Chains A and B, each alone.
Chain A
Amino acid sequence: MAGMLDRELKKGSAELLILSLLEHRARHGYEINSLIDQRSGGALHFNVASLYPLLYRLEKRGWIQGRWVEKSGQRRRRYYRLTAAGRAMLKSQRGIWREFVAAMNRVTGMENA
């Protein structure tokens, strides 16, 4: 299964994945990575080397915002949450993705499969 997804496609959809995961609550990097792993049943997996630069890029664009949070008895972690701009972006990317998948299905005749 893992080999089915092209590296490029993965990269294009990575932003959408991260934004979706942050939609309802703030999460730290490891949590994001684990959730992608779990929910995709291991089909999708990020390297540390690609996840964090991506997070920083999203932060730089103002879609998400990272903050160091210290909880008692734990090391401090950087939590990311969705900004208003990120929320808007998530909405539009979801729409594009839906259209893209629908188009793919129509062209490849996959809907009957």
Chain B
Amino acid sequence: MPDWKHQIRSRLSGAGLSLARESEIVEELSQHLDDRYQELCRSGMSETEAARAALEEFSEEELQQQFSRREYAYSQPPVLGADTGSALGALWQDLRYAARLFRANPVFTAAAIISLALGIGANTAIFQMLDAVRLRLLPVREPQQLARIRIPESHGRTGNFNGPYADLTYPQFEQIRDRQQGFSSVFAWSGDSFNLNRGGEVRKSQGLLVSGDFFNVLGVGPALGRVLEPTDDRSGCGSPVAVLGYGFWQRQYGGKASVLGSTLTLNGQPFQIVGVTTAGFFGLEIGRAFDVAVPLCADSILNPEDHRLTDRFTWWLCAMGRIKPGWPLAKVNAQLQAISPAVFRETVPPAYAAGEVKHYLGFRLGALPASNGVSELRSDYETPLWLLLGIAGLVLLIACANLANLMLARASAREREIAVRLALGAARGRLLRQLLTESLFLSAIGALFGLGVAGLTSRFLVRYLSTRETHVVLNLGTDWRMLAFTAALAALTCLLFGLTPALRAVRTPPAVAMNTAGRGLTATRERFGARRVLVVCQVALSLVLVVAALLFVRSLHKLLTLNAGFQRTGILVVNTDFTRLNIPSAQRLEFKRELLERIRALPGVEEAAIAMNVPLGGNFSNNNIFINGEKKEPADLNQVSDHFFSTMGTPLLAGRDFDNRDSLNSPAVAIVNQAFVQKYFPGSNPLGKTFRVGDSPDQPHPLTEIIGVAKNTKYDDLRKDFPPISYSPAAQDREPDPDARMLVRSTLGLGSLMEEVKTAIAQTNPTIDLQFRVFADQIQESLLRERLLAMLSEFFGFLAALLATIGLYGVISYMVARRTGEIGIRMALGANRRDIVAMVMREAATLLGLGLVVGAVLSLFAARAAAALLYGLKPDDPLTLIASAVILAAAAAAASFLPARRAARLDPMTALREE
């Protein structure tokens, strides 16, 4: 067959086509002429004739004329790295190329994105929580003008304390309201829970008792109807009104406007609904959202037994005010100081003894900034959250180190690619821009997934912090600042470690890079060194996190398994409230007695008892102990019925239990625990000894005789040492409340037991309010902080160890690949497989050992920050440190054994041929 190519080429020569385009056309046309020639031959033409006929098909002039329009002069085929002129087009091209690269290296990409997403997500979530509980301002008008009025040095206050923000008594608030000058207005409020049901099982709502000025001072308006006004809060309260929280209105009433004017039952009393507050307002407590707000005066209706509006002995209010313009905080404080003597002089509790009065009159008021509200969550969780933020930050660092390692590895693998492209004429700047795009693309995807992780994590955290009793409500808007910060950190990592080697590669003359016969330049000691340093850092940081995790997990385990002095399982707590039966005080003891007997008679109930305070249940009381008229340190108090100790599984070590010998008419008696004996009657037989609880001139507490000694138990906090406790018999309660807290031990399942108890109590009287708690759950909830810390630090520690292991694996694999030739030579010279494994493992052990040493030092420093959150462990607990190092070393050894084994399996001949 004739070769047309030369002829075609000569005919095209005048068309001014690019070389690439021309050769393409030549190929296509010669193909056509071949086909034509063969066809002509088949039809019987001679070869010479056929060749001439085929060539006649295109005359030179015609072809030239057609092509001279240059319409066909193709643009250059796209060469990656060549400047295409359009910036946006180039970006698109880069992104597409990056996406293709990532698709081609799914493991690299997944590892990078997952580690980034977890690091970024965890950090953002925890920062969100911190921001919500610590940093955000209250959603009210000019929150920075708000200040909380309290007694800064309030040590030694005695009385009844209700709620976590029990700063003041009502009489004190009245005095402050009338005497203060630094505030344009002041208000007081108190949180409480109101029962929405009438009788039967209690349905709780988050209530807010507020003084008349509350909403006006805060500048919070209604979404519907009106808010509470000063006229609503008047003595006696008339027909009381209530304002709903927005969320409660939506949940309970479906957001219907018809709710206005309807009646709401709170603790069995009717309240008229007059309005709904705006959507963003949740109250002044971070982490809680109020359901119903009622005027303070309604306390006499809701809690008629407590007399908190007149009692000088009950601390239950939190007072705040809006500082007058132009008054600096120091001046406000000085004014509060000045009125303090008068305020306290007018409000001395009548039951106080002379010494207590003196102490009371020494109190001074002060103002504290309250722009971000009050929060129990804050005091409980601020330290753990900062700690967790630190831990999550370390995880992000380790993730970044991993990423850096991956980028370095990839950069060395791509040096030849870059060299080839440079040789083909790609511009250096353009290549760099493309590498930059890849890095940023990777971080952007990581950040995007991180956003998802953050959302899930923070929602999980909020749910975890909510218990049956307290529903945590936090405003968790996505924290863009934090997300931007962490994403920027990740991008910086990508840039630093992706671009630095790329820069070097771009600067290397292509010929040098290509001459190294497939061995990248990164394999020099120097640059490989960077990866080794990264791995050492990773191992060190992850050791810190594993140590932290083990410390918290072991703390929790100790708390969960320690002998608290009572049995934790199988006990149901039944809270009954019969306020609405209006039983006269004198008959209440008998009523409680009957109620308890009814429960005891239920089939399956083994033991049942009444207790004022359930251990670890959140209630506690204490008072000073007087022995022979001498005031001693305070002891914890409880008031229990007979069989309390057998119900709780607490052994009586000496003396007897309470029984029917103990009554209002018999001498006062008490059972005390070992710690009580040790503290007040050391070294003597306590039985028959006497003491008094509290003392005051007008109300002499009776002389109490010790009739029994119980084993030590925890009281209000598992973390505290066994406190001295004095138990008095419920039968000697002179002022019984219209409620009873019963502990029931049963062989029945908790579900059927609850049903039985519900029926039995409803038979007694259907208007009795009823509430169940499972004792074991209550203990679990009291350990919420420890559980949260243990769980999260465990997760982060695991993650860190995993990331570090991956990092080590990567570096060792890379080392094996780089030294393939050397290993081949060693094996050819007689090294056996075991020697090779040992050689590789030695390398890994060096990195691991260095990392562990650095990590151990860091851990010792870091653990000190967590000392306050540990139980039964020292921060420098050697066992924990050793165990962590062993865990990490085992994982790392496993990770490096894989490449070591691969090295040992090399065929020496193949390995040598690669050189």
- Which residues of A come within 8 Å of B, CB atoms? 28-30, 33, 47-50, 52-53, 56-57, 60, 75, 77-78
> Could you say which residues of chain A place their CB within 8 Å of the CB of B66?
49-50, 53
Interface residue? B25 (CB, 8 A): yes
Interface residue? B36 (CB, 8 A): yes
Q: Are B72 and A53 in contact (CB under 8 A)?
A: yes
Q: Are A47 and B62 in contact (CB under 8 A)?
A: yes
**Extra pairs beyond A56-B72, A60-B72 (14, CB < 8 Å):** A29-B32, A30-B31, A47-B57, A47-B59, A48-B32, A48-B57, A49-B66, A50-B62, A52-B28, A52-B29, A53-B66, A57-B72, A75-B31, A77-B31
Interface residue? B601 (CB, 8 A): no
In the assembled complex, the Cα of A67 lies from the Cα of B63 at a distance in Å of: 22
**The 6 nearest A-B residue pairs measured at CB:** A49-B58, A53-B66, A49-B62, A48-B58, A30-B35, A56-B72
Q: Which residue of B lies closest to A75 (CB)?
A: B31
Interface residue? B33 (CB, 8 A): yes
- Which residues of B come within 8 Å of A, CB atoms? 25, 28-29, 31-33, 35-36, 57-59, 62-63, 66-67, 71-72
Q: Which residue of A lies closest to B36 (CB)?
A: A30
In the assembled complex, the Cα of A53 lies from the Cα of B59 at a distance in Å of: 13
In the assembled complex, the Cα of A29 lies from the Cα of B32 at a distance in Å of: 7
Q: Which residue of B lies closest to A29 (CB)?
A: B32
> Could you say which residues of chain A place their CB within 8 Å of the CB of B58?
47-49
> Could you say which residues of chain A place their CB within 8 Å of the CB of B63?
49, 53
> Could you say which residues of chain A place their CB within 8 Å of the CB of B32?
29-30, 33, 48, 52
In the assembled complex, the Cα of A30 lies from the Cα of B63 at a distance in Å of: 17
| CB of A61, distance to nearest CB on chain B (Å) | 9
Q: How many A-B pairs fall under 8 Å by CB?
A: 46
> Could you say which residues of chain A place their CB within 8 Å of the CB of B25?
52, 56
Contact check: which of A28, A47, A48, A53 meets B67 at CB < 8 Å? A53
In the assembled complex, the Cα of A53 lies from the Cα of B12 at a distance in Å of: 12
Q: Are B29 and A48 in contact (CB under 8 A)?
A: yes
> Could you say which residues of chain A place their CB within 8 Å of the CB of B29?
48, 52
| CB of B789, distance to nearest CB on chain A (Å) | 61
In the assembled complex, the Cα of A77 lies from the Cα of B67 at a distance in Å of: 21
Chain A to chain B contacts (Cβ below 8 Å), 16 pairs: A28-B31, A29-B31, A29-B32, A30-B32, A30-B35, A47-B62, A48-B29, A48-B58, A49-B62, A52-B32, A53-B63, A56-B25, A57-B72, A60-B71, A60-B72, A78-B28
Q: Which residue of B lies closest to A32 (CB)?
A: B32
| CB of A84, distance to nearest CB on chain B (Å) | 21
In the assembled complex, the Cα of A75 lies from the Cα of B71 at a distance in Å of: 28
In the assembled complex, the Cα of A48 lies from the Cα of B28 at a distance in Å of: 11
> Could you say which residues of chain A place their CB within 8 Å of the CB of B72?
53, 56-57, 60
| CB of B745, distance to nearest CB on chain A (Å) | 79
> Could you say which residues of chain A place their CB within 8 Å of the CB of B35?
30
| CB of A26, distance to nearest CB on chain B (Å) | 14
In the assembled complex, the Cα of A77 lies from the Cα of B33 at a distance in Å of: 13
Q: Which residue of B lies closest to A33 (CB)?
A: B32
| CB of A9, distance to nearest CB on chain B (Å) | 18
In the assembled complex, the Cα of A30 lies from the Cα of B36 at a distance in Å of: 8
> Could you say which residues of chain B place their CB within 8 Å of the CB of A30?
31-32, 35-36
In the assembled complex, the Cα of A30 lies from the Cα of B57 at a distance in Å of: 12
In the assembled complex, the Cα of A50 lies from the Cα of B72 at a distance in Å of: 13
In the assembled complex, the Cα of A37 lies from the Cα of B31 at a distance in Å of: 18
Contact check: which of B31, B36, B59 meets A49 at CB < 8 Å? B59
In the assembled complex, the Cα of A77 lies from the Cα of B25 at a distance in Å of: 11
The interface centre, meaning the residue of A52, A57, A75 with most chain B CB atoms within 10 A of its CB, is: A52
Contact check: which of A28, A49, A53 meets B57 at CB < 8 Å? A49
Q: Which residue of A lies closest to B72 (CB)?
A: A56
| CB of B774, distance to nearest CB on chain A (Å) | 68
Q: Which residue of A lies closest to B15 (CB)?
A: A53
> Could you say which residues of chain B place their CB within 8 Å of the CB of A78?
28, 31
> Could you say which residues of chain B place their CB within 8 Å of the CB of A57?
71-72
In the assembled complex, the Cα of A89 lies from the Cα of B67 at a distance in Å of: 24
> Could you say which residues of chain A place their CB within 8 Å of the CB of B62?
47, 49-50
> Could you say which residues of chain B place their CB within 8 Å of the CB of A56?
25, 71-72
In the assembled complex, the Cα of A53 lies from the Cα of B17 at a distance in Å of: 13
Q: Which residue of B lies closest to A78 (CB)?
A: B28
In the assembled complex, the Cα of A31 lies from the Cα of B536 at a distance in Å of: 67
In the assembled complex, the Cα of A35 lies from the Cα of B486 at a distance in Å of: 65
| CB of B64, distance to nearest CB on chain A (Å) | 9
The interface centre, meaning the residue of A49, A50, A57 with most chain B CB atoms within 10 A of its CB, is: A49
> Could you say which residues of chain B place their CB within 8 Å of the CB of A47?
57-59, 62
In the assembled complex, the Cα of A29 lies from the Cα of B29 at a distance in Å of: 9
In the assembled complex, the Cα of A50 lies from the Cα of B32 at a distance in Å of: 13
| CB of B31, distance to nearest CB on chain A (Å) | 6
In the assembled complex, the Cα of A57 lies from the Cα of B71 at a distance in Å of: 7
> Could you say which residues of chain A place their CB within 8 Å of the CB of B36?
30, 48
> Could you say which residues of chain A place their CB within 8 Å of the CB of B59?
47, 49
Q: Which residue of A lies closest to B66 (CB)?
A: A53
| CB of A2, distance to nearest CB on chain B (Å) | 15
In the assembled complex, the Cα of A45 lies from the Cα of B58 at a distance in Å of: 12
Q: Which residue of A lies closest to B64 (CB)?
A: A49
Q: Which residue of A lies closest to B30 (CB)?
A: A75
The interface centre, meaning the residue of A47, A48, A50 with most chain B CB atoms within 10 A of its CB, is: A48
In the assembled complex, the Cα of A52 lies from the Cα of B71 at a distance in Å of: 13
In the assembled complex, the Cα of A56 lies from the Cα of B66 at a distance in Å of: 11
Q: Which residue of A lies closest to B34 (CB)?
A: A75
Q: Which residue of B lies closest to A30 (CB)?
A: B35
In the assembled complex, the Cα of A56 lies from the Cα of B21 at a distance in Å of: 11
| CB of A44, distance to nearest CB on chain B (Å) | 15
Q: Which residue of B lies closest to A61 (CB)?
A: B71
In the assembled complex, the Cα of A77 lies from the Cα of B349 at a distance in Å of: 105
> Could you say which residues of chain B place their CB within 8 Å of the CB of A52?
25, 28-29, 32
In the assembled complex, the Cα of A75 lies from the Cα of B72 at a distance in Å of: 24
> Could you say which residues of chain B place their CB within 8 Å of the CB of A48?
29, 32-33, 36, 57-58
In the assembled complex, the Cα of A50 lies from the Cα of B63 at a distance in Å of: 7
In the assembled complex, the Cα of A53 lies from the Cα of B67 at a distance in Å of: 7
> Could you say which residues of chain B place their CB within 8 Å of the CB of A28?
31
Q: Which residue of A lies closest to B21 (CB)?
A: A56
In the assembled complex, the Cα of A48 lies from the Cα of B57 at a distance in Å of: 6
Q: Are B28 and A29 in contact (CB under 8 A)?
A: yes
In the assembled complex, the Cα of A56 lies from the Cα of B62 at a distance in Å of: 15
In the assembled complex, the Cα of A52 lies from the Cα of B25 at a distance in Å of: 9
| CB of A42, distance to nearest CB on chain B (Å) | 13
In the assembled complex, the Cα of A47 lies from the Cα of B33 at a distance in Å of: 11
In the assembled complex, the Cα of A57 lies from the Cα of B68 at a distance in Å of: 12
| CB of A85, distance to nearest CB on chain B (Å) | 17
